[in-house]
Structure 1
Amino acid sequence: MNTAELLADAFGRIQEDVHGAVEGLTPAELAEQVEPGANTVAWLVWHLARVQDDHVAGVTGSEQVWTAGGWQERFGLPFRAAATGYGNTSHQVAQVTVDDPALLTGYYDAVHAATLAYVATLRDADLDRIVDERWDPPVTLGVRLVSVVNDDTQHAGQAAFVRGVLMRRR
């Protein structure tokens, strides 16, 4: 297994988890906060997709799928185009709603496709490239991609947990 295959496998698992968390839930369930202030499945999936989109576009120097693919308009959220959900309040979390669960999975799938297209080009030596000098030590491409996988995996797991709570309430 090489670098590209390893990363494709990791991101593929996230895609499976995203679909597993979303599919079969109603728009109301996707937007339900299981207790006051809790993150919703809709927000968790939107946020993890936004972070992956933002970070991958950042290392490739390309426009984010969010804006390039018209997803910002389709979601119609009251946030700036660059918003990823980082630091959102409970009120902002509750504003992430969808009329159709396929909007969430469709956006993630588009981000996933862009991610796989990029990682297919990577070689082991590429992972040492510095992509962010604002940190000490500076962040390499390898560290950034592992960070995205880690963040997305945690949020997908949280979405699956919330889904489980919602399913038990049915």
Structure 2
Amino acid sequence: MVNIMRADNGNIGRIPGRAQVWTRAAVMPGEDPKRIADAMQEVILSVTDTDPWLAKERPEFSWIILGGRSYPAEISETHESVKLFRDSIGAVTGNAAKPAGFVSPADMQQLLNIDPRTPTFMFGPGSITQAHTEDEYVPVDQVVKTSAILADFILRWCGVE
């Protein structure tokens, strides 16, 4: 997934001497951010080569790859921590947990890419549609339920009956 984050020509109401386009690409497990950047650049250059002016005024590229946050991370559903956490969710909510992927920069990437022995997954209360918004909130009942799930998981992980 690639999306244009921002396009900027410097000033409103002027014919720009240059323009900038900022993009964001989601990198899936097994993919290399550098290869994604190279592929995007190849596509852009293949289009500019079809235009006489753009062929002479080729775009310049600079890529910002944000360290561990740019590299994808995943943990196996069969990892002991995932199994125990799913058990905790079931015990507290009465519902089976459904693991899913999540496309977003997050601390999980840093932890797993720095030391892959660190079992890491993402979990929390609230709705992602409310996260990082002006009126962000988390319902109290979800905080309480999340706390119970985390407490149950810690006990299971530590082997406490």
Q: TM-score, normalised by structure 1?
A: 0.25
Question: Larger radius of gyration, structure 1 or 2?
Answer: 2
Higher relative contact order (CA 8 A, sep 6+): 1
Q: Which has the higher strand share?
A: 2
Q: Which has the higher helix share?
A: 1
